[in-house]
Structure 1
Amino acid sequence: MNKVLVILALFINSLCFSQRIIETKTKYVNPEFETETKNAKALVTDLMKEKSIPGLSITVASKNKILWSEGFGLADLENKTPIKLNSKFRIGSISKSLTSIALGKLIEKGKINLSDTVQKLVPYFPKKKYQITIQELASHTSGIRNYNYKNGEYFSNVHYNTIKESIDIFKEDSLLFEPKTKYGYSTYGYVLLSAAIEEVAGQNFLDYMQNNVFEPMGMYSTVPDLNDKIIDNRVQFYQLRDGTIINASYIDNSNKWAGGGFLSSSLDLAKMSQHLLRKDIINKRTIELLWTPTQLADGERTNYCLGWRRDVTESGNIYIHHGGSSVGGRSFLLIYPKDEIIVSITCNLFTRFNESLALEIAEKFKK
């Protein structure tokens, strides 16, 4: 029996080693999908030309295999550094999807319930007119406000040492509406959610994410976007000004780790999605909970679940997705649960593209 365990451990280690080797490359194509890859590549190059994107990475995967992963263009225009499969991009609000997995793990362990109130779990958050539950935070129905763009909160360059410090930004503000009566997208709601995760886990939020989410899923290229830390393969960030590519404004993401502060690669996002399809990190019941649309008090349903969106194609195919826009980055993640197809895209330009591209690519890889 011990010999079997040793052989199994060596096999797993060899798979992990092979995965790490792949990540240092700029391209990987599964031989079974060369035609599909060629056709999808044309869509990607057209997008980069249309949007003037300096560098982009895309990964297409099934439940158990990487079908195609490739880096296009440059991670750093000044130094002519190419995009690799382990290039780290700002993923913006896909950080919320990562946070939802942390929430799911705590739910499974019985450490947190969706009906728990913030006032119960985060004692330093002031009482409001209404109680706010964990479910309302995760589904954007809490009434907690989002960034104030006019006073520069989205482009904040202030460093916050703790989540508790970052909550000072909005903790004294009144709720925008009674919880669960409306949908109101709020990254700050996820900041408050991460405070609850910290309190329940008894561990710093970033440490919890590393130890309980990233490491178990082999997400070697997913880290917080810490400005004062040397981070291997972090891309440079760009924006457009009058049609010209310039360096993106300096920002500090410590005001929003859980809602928009992580770096990742398209390959890591695909690996995370594979684990969800395999149901080996969190179980089927929890995944269904995270992927169930939210119902408001009046019975209306939104397309937002808990850290994910759920929609249906014209042909009736359900897809789970989330996008992320950030200063110097845009990302998109798509999962077809029935067909077990994943598409993840990351780029280093503050631009716009939506699920239509990912859906078109996913359709090409369906068997």
Structure 2
Amino acid sequence: MQKGPQRFGAAVLMASLAVPTNVLGQQTGGYGPETEARIDSVFESMDSTHTPGCALGVMEGGSPAYLKGYGMANLEYDIPINPSSVFHVASVSKQFTTFAVSLLVAEGKVSWEDDIREYIPEVPDFGETITLRHLANHTSGIRDQWSLLSMAGWRFEADVITQDDVLEITSRQTALNFPVADQYLYSNTGFTLLAVVVERISGQTLKEFTQERMFGPLGMTGTHFHDNHNTIVPNRAYAYAPVGGDEGYRISIPDFDVVGATSLHTTVEDMAKWDRNFYTAEVGGPEVLEGMHERGILNSGDTINYALGLSHGRYRGLPTVGHGGADAGYRSDFLRFPEQDVSVAVLCNFPSSGPGGLGRQVANIVLEDVFPEPLPDPDAEEEEGEAEPDAVPLSEAELEELAGYYAADFNDRPLVLREREGHLFMDGQLRLFHEGDWVFRPDGEDERAQIVRTPEGSVSVTTPDGITFVRQAAVDRDSVDLEPYVGRYWSEELGVEYEARLEEGRMFFMNRKIGRRNINPVFHDGFGAGGNWVRFFRDSAGEITGFTQSSGRVWKVRFRKLE
């Protein structure tokens, strides 16, 4: 007998009550039970009703093969994560921004080789042409927005940051980190500027443009660029951070209204649809998809791994293309194996989730018969590490000469060489084996470090990644005179004032919003400042007149001493 509507609905309801809530909406069946159980074991530690977790999407041949959620999307209301849960995916957003620009390029409305100042004259004239491609390849030299805002006193998860705030602080900059296309250095600012280009050329917000031209046609109904932090998001997975001890978690979600570099909200279901477009090119066409994978080229002629919001790499001998992301408590990773037509998306809502590692563990399972390289054997690595290679010994005087603090000229980044039990160690942990002629091999690496000593007494170290660090004059932290550094300092590039204070022999920067930030002397006129690096400079009379502050993605922002 055919069931009527009411009886059919009741049957579905009764069936759903018999299924654990954390498996509702899951899509399985792409693999056998044994393989699926192995995949589930990767997420075993978070498959709980008491912790945040992750959503997983495994795609093969452009179709979803295994979609599942682990852990909770909302701890307050006991809502589990499922494939429809919406996550903020942070920097995974970048490929969507470059795709939007690529659509405009395909229509002849803009070119990747155009000067950014044609569209955003607020960007200062640094004396060099910065193209849209430079921005998308992270080779522009423009300082990173988040680091600049942090130095200026903005408090993430407390202050609302807008697109205009990023434009304003970018317009204040008087220098680049490095000459355009000389280096690769990750900068979120470039992708915020690309979002502004889309808005000014199309007359639509990035949210509107991508909805009309990308997400709508692809059926990505759970995806949008989140340009208003107050917007209600159905099915949102809230992000959390541990409080410490036994107090559980606190909510940790971004409260900025900045798009382009970040702020895409999506699901693993929709990431499967996005993945399919890399193979079908139903939106954009083959030329756009091919262009998205074109790697950047430096002035030296070297090709970098980063393309247009996508990073090329290799894992266990197979080519990969992907990107990760991290904002507040959200973590994400989208990794494609293009030659195998296999992709893995992992979207998580707590900081220590490690989605990149989780995704690769899943790939180890679904591609285990394909990888040309075996999984690393930790025991074998340990045994190899115990075998000490031949090394040319250094005298006690030579070790003493080399040990000390070094700094990179371009951003004052510190490096420390220490002598321990007759050996030289870099940054306290990495042992250096002397092969002769002042060439050193860091333990476990194939590349070499070169130390150069001059007759004048200067010493420099060029590390395996090509960065040169120069030996700095040592200071006795307990006896250095800190009084000359005390005073008020102003940065025009940040629009902020710091006050350097001295209390009970300790020096610190003080600012109304930053609060107290300790700074500690590490070499003459050089200080560590909570992960940043500060170098004071003097006039011809030896008086302190200002300092520069650097971080990993912002180099040498100037502060001048106020009278």
TM bucket (normalised to shorter chain) is 0.7 to 0.9
| C-alpha distance in structure 2 between counterparts of 1:156 and 1:128, whole Å | 32
Write out per-residue CA displacement over residues 115-145 of structure 1, whole angstroms, 9 at most, x where no aligned residue.
Answer: 0110112234332222210000001111111
Contact 2:330–2:351 (8 Å) recurs in 1: yes
Partner of 2:89: 91
Partner of 1:81: 79
Following superposition, the deviation at residue 94 of structure 1 comes to 0.5
Partner of 1:264: 266
Contact 2:61–2:342 (8 Å) recurs in 1: yes
Write out per-residue CA displacement over residues 234-289 of structure 1, whole angstroms, 9 at most, x where no aligned residue.
Answer: 122211233654223464221x3111112111221222111112222122332222
Partner of 1:13: none
SS at match of 2:359: helix
Partner of 1:204: 205
| C-alpha distance in structure 1 between counterparts of 2:270 and 2:155, whole Å | 25
Partner of 1:65: 63
Matches within 5 A, 1:39-50: 39-46=38-45, 48=46
> Are 1:168 and 2:168 counterparts?
yes
Contact 1:276–1:282 (8 Å) recurs in 2: no
Contact 1:181–1:296 (8 Å) recurs in 2: yes
Following superposition, the deviation at residue 193 of structure 1 comes to 1.0
Residues 136/153 of structure 1: CA separation in 2 closer, same or farther (3 Å cut): farther
Contact 2:27–2:67 (8 Å) recurs in 1: yes
| C-alpha distance in structure 2 between counterparts of 1:127 and 1:222, whole Å | 36
> Are 1:320 and 2:324 counterparts?
no
Contact 2:310–2:323 (8 Å) recurs in 1: yes
SS at match of 1:142: coil
Write out per-residue CA displacement over residues 59-117 of structure 1, whole angstroms, 9 at most, x where no aligned residue.
Answer: 10123321110111111112111112211111010010111211221122122211011
Question: Mean Cα displacement is larger for which, 281-290 or 294-303?
Answer: 281-290
Matches within 5 A, 1:189-200: 189-200=190-201
Partner of 1:364: 365
Partner of 1:246: 249
SS at match of 2:99: helix
SS at match of 1:351: helix
| Number of aligned residue pairs | 339
Matches within 5 A, 1:190-339: 190-225=191-226, 226-242=228-244, 245-249=248-252, 251-254=254-257, 256-315=258-317, 317-339=318-340
SS at match of 1:213: helix
Q: Which amino acid aligns with 1:297?
A: N
Following superposition, the deviation at residue 224 of structure 1 comes to 3.1
| C-alpha distance in structure 2 between counterparts of 1:297 and 1:53, whole Å | 48
| C-alpha distance in structure 1 between counterparts of 2:244 and 2:286, whole Å | 48
Partner of 2:413: none
SS at match of 1:208: helix
SS at match of 2:169: coil
Q: Which amino acid aligns with 2:251?
A: A
Unaligned runs of 5+ in 1: 1-23
Residues 224/84 of structure 1: CA separation in 2 closer, same or farther (3 Å cut): same
Residues 273/191 of structure 1: CA separation in 2 closer, same or farther (3 Å cut): same
Write out per-residue CA displacement over residues 3-47 of structure 1, whole angstroms, 9 at most, x where no aligned residue.
Answer: xxxxxxxxxxxxxxxxxxxxx94311125444322211111224x
Matches within 5 A, 1:133-148: 133-146=131-144, 147-148=146-147
Residues 32/313 of structure 1: CA separation in 2 closer, same or farther (3 Å cut): closer
Residues 33/127 of structure 1: CA separation in 2 closer, same or farther (3 Å cut): farther
| C-alpha distance in structure 2 between counterparts of 1:69 and 1:224, whole Å | 23
| C-alpha distance in structure 2 between counterparts of 1:267 and 1:152, whole Å | 38
Percent of paired sites with the same residue: 25
Q: Which has the larger radius of gyration?
A: 2
Partner of 2:493: none
| C-alpha distance in structure 1 between counterparts of 2:248 and 2:264, whole Å | 23
SS at match of 1:28: coil
| C-alpha distance in structure 2 between counterparts of 1:293 and 1:84, whole Å | 35
Q: Which amino acid aligns with 2:207?
A: L
Partner of 1:26: 25
| C-alpha distance in structure 1 between counterparts of 2:336 and 2:298, whole Å | 25
| C-alpha distance in structure 1 between counterparts of 2:321 and 2:154, whole Å | 29
Matches within 5 A, 1:92-171: 92-146=90-144, 147-148=146-147, 149-151=150-152, 153=154, 155=156, 157-159=158-160, 163-171=163-171
**RMSD of aligned residue pairs (Cα, Å):** 2.4
| C-alpha distance in structure 2 between counterparts of 1:63 and 1:31, whole Å | 12
Residues 351/112 of structure 1: CA separation in 2 closer, same or farther (3 Å cut): farther
| C-alpha distance in structure 2 between counterparts of 1:97 and 1:320, whole Å | 11
Following superposition, the deviation at residue 311 of structure 1 comes to 0.6
| C-alpha distance in structure 1 between counterparts of 2:31 and 2:253, whole Å | 43
Q: Which amino acid aligns with 1:193?
A: L
Q: Which has the higher contact order (CA 8 A, sep 6+)?
A: 1
| C-alpha distance in structure 2 between counterparts of 1:154 and 1:302, whole Å | 33
Q: Which amino acid aligns with 1:44?
A: F
Residues 176/87 of structure 1: CA separation in 2 closer, same or farther (3 Å cut): same
More strand by percentage = 2
| C-alpha distance in structure 2 between counterparts of 1:265 and 1:250, whole Å | 16
Residues 152/360 of structure 1: CA separation in 2 closer, same or farther (3 Å cut): farther
- When normalised by structure 2's length, the TM-score is 0.56
Q: Which amino acid aligns with 2:284?
A: I
Following superposition, the deviation at residue 208 of structure 1 comes to 0.8
More helix by percentage = 1
| C-alpha distance in structure 2 between counterparts of 1:278 and 1:34, whole Å | 30
SS at match of 1:257: coil
| C-alpha distance in structure 2 between counterparts of 1:33 and 1:103, whole Å | 41
Partner of 2:382: none
Unaligned runs of 5+ in 2: 1-22, 371-563
- When normalised by structure 1's length, the TM-score is 0.85
| C-alpha distance in structure 1 between counterparts of 2:295 and 2:348, whole Å | 28
| C-alpha distance in structure 1 between counterparts of 2:155 and 2:139, whole Å | 20
Write out per-residue CA displacement over residues 272-317 of structure 1, whole angstroms, 9 at most, x where no aligned residue.
Answer: 11111222212233222211222211122222111010012232x2
